[in-house]
Structure 1
Amino acid sequence: MQWCNLKHILLWSFVCVLTGCTTVDELDIWPVVYYDKDPERQTTQLDILTSVYSQTDTLEKTTYAFRPFFVGEFAKSGKNSEILALWPFVRYRQKPDDTLIAILPFYYSREITKQHTRERDYDWFFLPFASFGGADTKEGSYLYMGFWGNIKGLLGYDEITGKPFPFYVTARDGEYFSRGYMWPFFRFGDGGGKTFRFYAFLYSYYKNKDKYERRSFLWPFVHYNKEDLNTKDPRTDVLVFPIYGQSTSKKSLAWMFMWPFFSYSGHENGYREYNLPWPFFKYRTGKGIHEFRLWPFYWENNQEDGTQRHRDVIAMWPFYWSLHSEYPTHTKDSVYIIPFYSQHWSKGKDPKAKEEMRLKVWPLFDYKVNEDGSFRSRILSPLLFEDYIPYGFEKAWVPLFTLFDYNCKSTDEKTVTFLGPLFTMKKSKDLSYERFLFFSYKNEKKTKGEQGRFSILGGLFEYNWLPQQRGLRFFYLPTWPTWSK
């Protein structure tokens, strides 16, 4: 809080010196400082050294950015805030029932309060030393130094204990309970219709009621399994890894030789798959499935079921990708020419739906059109990948590398910037603002009428007008002389 107060004191002192301590709603001395306060819209914008430091204040939230080190967003109503520091290494996010802190790669904590039960669920990691997690009404998980602890709900088990790991390990999944000594060499499990024995990779046996029975010798080299014993089509698998394997049933046959290079599988329902040899040649066909691969030159994969349809084409892997998907609610298409070009289209099935589109020519250019008609175009486009929530790279890094930015909102508000301080334009139904180097022009419609100004270096010389008054300003002093319209 003290730092924020000092910052505001210094800012206003600087503004008052330049303006003769008059009431200030705007200061435009680019690239040093740009300040604009709109009492009618209750918005404030401050930029120092183009976008190195920015502060935006609206009815909904206040945003601070000291790029690329810090970005903070604080909502006016409710307990909502987010801080990104040295992104992607530090993140803090607070919501009414959800608090997250992450300091990569060592620290992570998240605490969630469930809305209906008001039960607190939490996770806490300080790697590699300790981690905790759980809920208020249940015994939590804990792990110290990676070898002593009790972990719940991971790796398909209700709980796993190590006291200490790997000398003695236990695991529970419902009624099934297993023990391990000098894990993974000796492991034994019983319960819930399951039986498991593992002796130092020499021999293992695993049975689950009438579903399957599996044996291995010199694991992972020799396996003999009986699968799907509870169905009308049980299967027998034999594997001598990696030389030969075979899987047979009344309805299917599969074999492999010198895994993973040569394999075949077929089923009486018409499904066939050939890899001769993998990954260079693959052919797969069946109901709703057709795939052909002659790698790396050409690869086509078609899949269809009752609700979805996909068609992917890859040429000269990994350079060219064409992906098409149809869902019950929308269709989506993507084209990649790696690493320089990518384009995406998406459109809803509603006849009134409009198409969304994203285009990137890395690292030169990106362009995006949203369903509501808004669009944005930028040069440069340094991110090789798509940025996702919390959009840390977009907020902290991209503005520093943007040479040209054209942003048009669905309300027909337009903003254009070119080379930061060189040229800026803002257009809306109530505002017209243009700045080129040291010259700026602004005209806006207020409730009291039209007002604006033409300025050189933000007040070195300025001609301004109000609904019933005109005036001149020199050397950043208050406006004088003034005269009536």
Structure 2
Amino acid sequence: MFRFSLSRQAGVLFLLFFSAPLFARMPDAVSGEEPRDYFQFLFLYESTYTPGQKEFMIHPFYGRYRSDERAYRHSGTLYPVYYSAGTNYWNYRTFLYLFTFENKYHEDEKRDDEYLLAPLFYWGSGDTEKEQYFSIFPFYGTIKDKLAWSEISFVMFPLYSSWSYKDYKARSLLWPLIMWGGTPEDENGFKKRSDLRIFPFYSSKVHSGKYNHKTVLWPFFQWGADDLDKKDPRHFYFFFPFYAQKRSESGTMQSYSILWPFTLFAWGFDERRNTTEYRALWFLFQNMKSGDPHIRKLVIFPFYAHYRFGDKEEKYYNEMNFYLILLGNLRTKSAIVESSYDFFIPFYYRHHRYYPQEREEVWQWKLWPLASGYRQSDGANGWRVLALWPLPDDYLERTWGPLYSLAEWRRESNDDVYFSLLFRFFSVYLGEDSSRYFFAGFHYTNSPYLFEVGFLGGLIGYSRETQLVDGTPLRFYPGLYNQGRPETAEDRRYLHLFWMRF
């Protein structure tokens, strides 16, 4: 049904470019200033351990990270084939980002789970009836709290379907051809909402005191009214495709379109919202200014496009700029994250994110397929030569990158430095008072509290480790050496054979 609204024309662009969820930043790798125990075997395996955090990866098959401080963990198997993340209060798992499983733990100790392979399979379970549903599309099922409806049911869709929200319920046969619905009748036989559609001959959509829409021989004849519960209702009529008009009773809002939807020319204004808009030649030229909400849009396709939505004080906004389609910038600001994203598809991108709650910043860049890099506010930074994946995905680079990287360099947040060459055939990891070397399957570690040599990750080797009497390894607590070697410390020697320590 024809709906012509100046202030909502940019909604589709909004969904396309800013639909990714914005969450508070969670750790995705070992961080902090504590000393770290690092080990790797060529490009196949690496592990990093520090008190309270642990990460290991078997490239590219499996990776896992755990943070005890934030009670957070994530893992991936042949990422992005499988990925999971969670805390003590929620868990999220996904297979190819198509089949997903979510569960949440509430303060009342209740729990709800959800499995989905959208749109084919949905299964929800929980402690209340509202959280329990099952669906195998298109054969049979019920889905709850999806697509803005409380409940959606179907049998051999589109043969029969129904949906509801609060006291409204609708049914359909051969959707979308035949549909009827509404709210229950009151004691006087009056329905607050009433809908009927026999496509394409006739349709009626009525919400008493709010709107009234009619069509005959859709899409050729459409007319109706909106905002009937407000001081200045709006009326529209549409004779497809030649002419469309919408205006308020006071005349302060007017919009017109010729040859819609191809829009040979369209224009309009809304004095109450301080809005004006002009469009020509379908989507090739668009110009819009709005004061409430604050919107700016200018499109001269394919040369230039600008869109901005937010408030005048810039407490929040979303903005995008495109040049010749492939070159552009996306920016957003909210209470959770502030970001700026420059790109030249598919060769270059630069992304900056600031998380106000955590007061953390992250910079990432990629010059595809030559190199990629990053920098964080905690001091961590690094780069990699050869970055074959064109899209920005740091975890994918860390999972698959060692298989094709010619060189890597990074400085950790605790000032440890790592460098590798030729798919990690040679690598070195340097700490404040320790050094680790890896070459063609051999490894060598030297520090005041650990000496180790070995071959093939522990097939054969020797180590000497300084520990307290209770077995605590001092390699994680170098601060204990500030006043000299602890009296209770002792050196323990081990023989490594067939990946076991004796």
TM-score, normalised by the number of residues in structure 2: 0.70
- Tell me the alpha carbon deviations over residues 81-117 of structure 1, each in whole angstroms, 9 at most, x when there is no partner: 6542232223455654545554448854333332x11
| Equivalence for 1:15 | none
Counterpart check, 1:53 vs 2:45: yes
Structure 2 letter corresponding to 1:118: E
What is the deviation of 1:320? 1.8
> Is 1:180–1:186's contact at 8 Å kept on the other side of the alignment?
yes
Q: Whose radius of gyration is greater, 1 or 2?
A: 1
Counterpart check, 1:255 vs 2:256: yes
DSSP 3-state at the match of 1:398:
helix
| Equivalence for 1:366 | 372
**Is 71-80 or 424-433 further displaced after alignment?**
71-80
Q: Distance in 2 between matches of 1:337 and 1:127?
A: 31
Name structure 2 gaps, 5 residues minimum. Answer: 1-33, 185-191, 467-483, 485-495, 498-502
| Equivalence for 1:167 | 159
Structure 2 letter corresponding to 1:121: D
DSSP 3-state at the match of 2:402:
helix
| Equivalence for 2:218 | 219
**Is 253-262 or 298-307 further displaced after alignment?**
298-307
Q: Distance in 2 between matches of 1:322 and 1:219?
A: 40
**Is 355-364 or 410-419 further displaced after alignment?**
355-364
Counterpart check, 1:305 vs 2:312: yes
Counterpart check, 1:133 vs 2:139: no
**Is 84-93 or 198-207 further displaced after alignment?**
84-93
Match of 1:181 among 169, 173, 176: 173
Q: Distance in 1 between matches of 2:79 and 2:211?
A: 49
**Is 329-338 or 433-442 further displaced after alignment?**
433-442
- Tell me the alpha carbon deviations over residues 234-271 of structure 1, each in whole angstroms, 9 at most, x when there is no partner: 11111233332111112111111222333212122542
Match of 1:387 among 369, 375, 393: 393
Q: Distance in 2 between matches of 1:289 and 1:153?
A: 31
| Equivalence for 1:210 | 209
Match of 1:117 among 89, 108, 114: 108
Q: Compared with structure 1, are the counterparts of its residues 143 and 325 closer, same or farther at alpha carbon in structure 2 (3 Å cutoff)?
A: closer
Q: Compared with structure 1, are the counterparts of its residues 200 and 433 closer, same or farther at alpha carbon in structure 2 (3 Å cutoff)?
A: closer
Match of 1:333 among 340, 359, 369: 340
| Equivalence for 2:322 | 314
Q: Distance in 1 between matches of 2:356 and 2:126?
A: 42
Q: Distance in 1 between matches of 2:355 and 2:127?
A: 43
| Equivalence for 1:157 | 149
Q: Distance in 1 between matches of 2:316 and 2:367?
A: 30
**Is 332-341 or 405-414 further displaced after alignment?**
332-341
Name structure 1 gaps, 5 residues minimum. Answer: 1-40, 468-475, 478-485
> Is 2:64–2:75's contact at 8 Å kept on the other side of the alignment?
yes
> Is 1:227–1:236's contact at 8 Å kept on the other side of the alignment?
yes
- Aligned positions of 1:338-357 closer than 5 A: 338-346=345-353, 356-357=362-363
| Equivalence for 1:89 | 81
Structure 2 letter corresponding to 1:65: M
| Equivalence for 1:194 | 193
What is the deviation of 1:428? 2.4
> Is 1:63–1:74's contact at 8 Å kept on the other side of the alignment?
yes
Q: Compared with structure 1, are the counterparts of its residues 445 and 188 closer, same or farther at alpha carbon in structure 2 (3 Å cutoff)?
A: same
Instruction: State percent identity of aligned pairs.
Output: 23
- Tell me the alpha carbon deviations over residues 370-411 of structure 1, each in whole angstroms, 9 at most, x when there is no partner: 1122211111222222226xx3x2343122122221111232
Q: Compared with structure 1, are the counterparts of its residues 129 and 253 closer, same or farther at alpha carbon in structure 2 (3 Å cutoff)?
A: closer
What is the deviation of 1:360? 1.4
> Is 1:71–1:395's contact at 8 Å kept on the other side of the alignment?
no
Q: Distance in 1 between matches of 2:73 and 2:341?
A: 34
DSSP 3-state at the match of 1:158:
strand
Structure 1 letter corresponding to 2:227: D
Relative contact order higher in (CA < 8 Å, ≥ 6 apart) = 2
Q: Distance in 1 between matches of 2:59 and 2:453?
A: 31
Q: Distance in 2 between matches of 1:187 and 1:131?
A: 24
